[in-house]
Amino acid sequence: REQHIEFSRRFGELDDHAAFPSDRHPDYPHLMVVTNIPQADGTPSVSRYSGRRWHTDMSQTLVPALGSLLRCWQIPAVGGDTLFANTTLAYDTLSPGMQQLVSKLHAVHEAGGRKLDANHSDKAHAAEQKRISPPVAHPVARVHPETGRKAIYLGEKVKRFDGMTEEESRPLIRFLNEHATKPEFVLRHSWHEHDIVLWDNRCTLHMALADFDQNEPRYLERTTVMGTPSGYVAH
């Protein structure tokens, strides 16, 4: 764990995951735990449903993540893969008219709403997250600070555009998320124990698949490299 943390620091300052107090490692605040293994008292893991929506890390904050480094400790015999979508390519393949439209929009990223299954969410966790992290609006066409290229900065934490209702926003959000996660833009990573995967949150979306026997243990730990300030608190 010390090596994981020190290696991660080569890429920048690390987040202490204060926005996710229930998910971070009890002894290493720079590590966030993602697991379905029950807690010591037998209660279900609070992170057992983490990442099951398309998202980019820490987008519900004013300093969204630059990068993430996820290490695998235990993985089910079958399944438990992670998908990554290239949102720079997704932006580049939009029509000029759509690029012009989204360049004017800010998407409101909200914490909480962790999926339990297709129809239910973890309401207690959602309430805790929304208390800690109020909604934040970021540009939909977000410029990468190093490459200067634009990427679709969206995901399923977003329900509306700033200044618009959810009903008005829904069709365009759905189109952009479906476009950004087309198979031709997606990499599927099949985990092995001791894998460590690094990605740039500024130009990717990712999602953890629930395609495995939930009785089999899945345990991973993540460091988060802090990015540059972006967006504003939405009302």
Q: One of 53, 71, 114, 222 is an active-site residue; which one?
A: 222
Q: One of 55, 71, 142, 160 is an active-site residue; which one?
A: 55
Structure tokens at 184: 């031709």
- Is 55 in the active site? yes
- Is 57 in the active site? yes
- Is 206 in the active site? yes
- Give the Å distances, CA to CA, from 177 to 119, 158, 184, 188: 19, 10, 14, 17
Q: One of 57, 122, 162, 200 is an active-site residue; which one?
A: 57
Q: One of 114, 142, 179, 206 is an active-site residue; which one?
A: 206
For the chain, give me the number of helices (H) and strands (E)?
5, 13
Give the side-chain half-sphere CA count within 13 A for 53: 23
Neighbours of 86 (CB within 10 A): 21
Neighbours of 69 (CB within 10 A): 21
Nearest C-alpha neighbor of 144 from the set 198, 91, 85 = 91
- Is 15 in the active site? no
List, by residue number, the catalytic residues: 55, 57, 206, 222
